[in-house]
Amino acid sequence: MTDPMETPAWAELTTLAKRDLPLKALIEQDRTYLRLSAPGISADFSRQRVDTHVFQSLIELIHQTHVTELRDSMFSGEPINSTEERSVLHVALRVPLNQHVTVKDVDLSVGVHLVLDRMRNFSDQVRSGQWTGVTGKSINRVINIGIGGSDLGPAMACRALHDFVTPEISFAFVSNVDPNDLKEALEDSDPERTLFIIVSKTFTTEETMLNAQAAKSWILKALPQLDSIDIVQQHFVAVSTNSLRVTDFGINLTNMFGFWDWVGGRYSMVSAVGLSTMIAIGSANFNDMLRGFHEMDEHFRTSPPHQNMPMLMGALAVWNRDFLNIETTAVLPYSHYLGRFPAYLQQLTMESNGKRVRKDGSLVHYNTGGIYWGEPGTNGQHSFYQLLHQGTSIVACDFIVVARENGDATRQQSILVANALAQASVLSIGVTRQELNAGGNAPDLLAHKVMPGNRPVSLLMIDKLDPHSLGSLVALYEHSVFTQGAIWGINSFDQWGVELGKKVASGIAHSFSDNSLIQDFDASTQYSIKEYLRINPQN
Ligand code: F6P
């Protein structure tokens, strides 16, 4: 396999990175090649520290690391998730009815549309009140129980699409095994009118299973006069690939919505995992979201690298990470409703590209996945932006700007957008001591007021936050993550790093009741276990 560091483009980029490339000067040059549009989104990368030489070398790097070949392999269903020998076909979830994805003579789109039809049918029934709780009352509360990819996508989408969510039903997303998470969701719930959607690809994830059992106990206790089988039948549905475990839990398979091992958890938000989203926004809006995803998929699949928004975004992320040594990216949505988007992206980016070995098992000797974090923009301005502007760490910033508000608060909306544009400008061009001096600032404060600028900024602008644009936005990041992983030669689709912690947690939990097991752990862990048991001996 290709080692990216061995490519001529990598060597060229290393040389190019040694030059001083001040954004202030770059921004004034004609760099229209850094302004791209794709369905639903325009991207301005002109605040990246990139000139024509860097741009061309990044395009070369894409070619020399065979990104487009890997992309084509993904779309054709080859098992590019090599450690799990699986295809990576979340794009097949988004193909319209008249198109087909066939892998080894099996038309996957048939199964995809069958599940979508069942989801439509079910969500229509819940939304119309035709699906009732066991006592015949309509559903007015949906609680999604799942974690990671089985929570973050639906939770993020339900908030992002707030203006499209039915007012008849309230939604809660329970992920944490901390009992307070479920407790809080149940506080506002009427057992007779609550529907639980248990979402777990494996149906073995401990947090989800414990929360699902606790939810079951809550509802059975609340309706003691009724048959428990009937209660579970009307109040629990499952989203999973594991029918055996779903049946064990007591959920009828007619109330299970399946998906496939070729859909990774963090890429699953429009599979059956999106059932709560569909109930929230309705199937027509869900279709619009699928369309947004698919249009970005097609843009990624067919555009040449230099006009390919996700591919270029991914290559720029590699440039910042490996050549400019920038470790973190702040995701800054200027939209209240995109409040959960940074959390969603954290799993997508870091579970995908937080890897230190390449596909062939050899250690990488370059940097891979950066750290993604963030908060809605204006709140961040009054909190961590000080460090972004004047701190000693350079943070790359992704601004996400929504041009049109769905409501009529146009004055607030224009102030919001003005703030985003102002911050993007100041972060990239800053202000010098001379400029401050000429502006009549007090001499003893000049040093404190200097803004070094030169922080790389991407500005994504979406017309309006709706299902279509949300689909495009998520697919944009998915394919950018893909591009980064392809350049680095890592497998972006497994997550072995999360397994050991789960196993150790289970061992520690056992040691609470069987103290002879405590000695199996390292000295610090033994100390913490004993300290915990001293404070809380009731285990
Ligand atoms: O532990 C990580 C992980 O496997 C994620 O990749 C996944 O999204 C999450 O756990 C939940 O898994 P499941 O859907 O199987 O419960």
Q: Which two tokens stand for residue 445?
A: 């404060």
CA of 149 to the centre of ligand 1 (A): 6
CA of 531 to the centre of ligand 1 (A): 30
How far does Cα 534 stand from its chain's mean position?
Answer: 39
Please confirm, yes or no, whether 464 is among the known catalytic residues: no
pLDDT band, residue 488 (cuts 50/70/90): very high
> Average pLDDT, stretch 497-501?
95
Buried b / exposed e across 431-458, counting CB within 10 Å, b at 16+? beeeebeeeebeeeeeeeebbebbbbbb
Higher-confidence residue of 442 and 93: namely 93
Taking a C-beta distance cutoff of 8 angstroms, is the pair 329, 317 a contact?
yes
153 lines ligand 1 (CB under 6 A): no
pLDDT band, residue 296 (cuts 50/70/90): very high
Taking a C-beta distance cutoff of 8 angstroms, is the pair 360, 292 a contact?
no
The pLDDT of residue 254 is above 70: yes
Amino acid in position 482: F
CA distances from residue 248 to 220, 238, 446 in whole angstroms, order as listed: 17, 12, 69
Q: pLDDT tens for residues 349-366?
A: 999 999 999 999 999 999
Q: pLDDT tens for residues 389-435?
A: 999 999 999 999 999 877 666 788 899 999 999 999 999 999 999 99
Q: Which two tokens stand for residue 359?
A: 């596909």
**pLDDT value at residue 412:** 86
Name which residue sits closest to atom 10 of ligand 1, judged by CA.
148
> Locate tokens 């974090």: which residue?
373
The pLDDT of residue 387 is above 70: yes
Q: Which two tokens stand for residue 505?
A: 């947690």
Q: pLDDT tens for residues 6-27?
A: 999 999 999 999 999 999 999 9
**What is the rounded distance in angstroms from the CA atom of residue 88 to the CA atom of residue 76?**
9
Please name every residue paired with 238 in a beta bridge, in sequence order, or none if there are none.
Answer: 198, 256
**What is the rounded distance in angstroms from the CA atom of residue 428 to the CA atom of residue 23?**
6
The pLDDT of residue 318 is above 90: yes
Structural Rg of the chain based on CA atoms: 25
**pLDDT value at residue 188:** 84
pLDDT band, residue 165 (cuts 50/70/90): very high
Taking a C-beta distance cutoff of 8 angstroms, is the pair 174, 266 a contact?
no
Q: Which two tokens stand for residue 427?
A: 């972060």
Q: Which two tokens stand for residue 345?
A: 């992206």
472 lines ligand 1 (CB under 6 A): no
Where do the H-state alpha helices sit in 399-466? 410-429, 433-438, 446-449
The pLDDT of residue 373 is above 90: yes
Give, in degrees to the nearest 5, the angle at Cα 508 between 152 and 533.
Answer: 110
CA of 205 to the centre of ligand 1 (A): 7
What is the biggest distance separating any 2 CA atoms in the chain, rounded to whole angstroms? Answer: 81
DSSP reduced 3-state for 330: strand
321 lines ligand 1 (CB under 6 A): no
Name which residue sits closest to atom 9 of ligand 1, judged by CA.
148
**pLDDT value at residue 408:** 66
Q: pLDDT tens for residues 306-317?
A: 999 999 999 999
The pLDDT of residue 369 is above 90: yes
Name which residue sits closest to atom 8 of ligand 1, judged by CA.
149
149 lines ligand 1 (CB under 6 A): yes
**pLDDT value at residue 409:** 65
239 lines ligand 1 (CB under 6 A): no
CA of 21 to the centre of ligand 1 (A): 42
Residue among 18, 104, 365, 382 flagged as catalytic:
382
**pLDDT value at residue 410:** 79
CA of 204 to the centre of ligand 1 (A): 9
Taking a C-beta distance cutoff of 8 angstroms, is the pair 485, 352 a contact?
yes
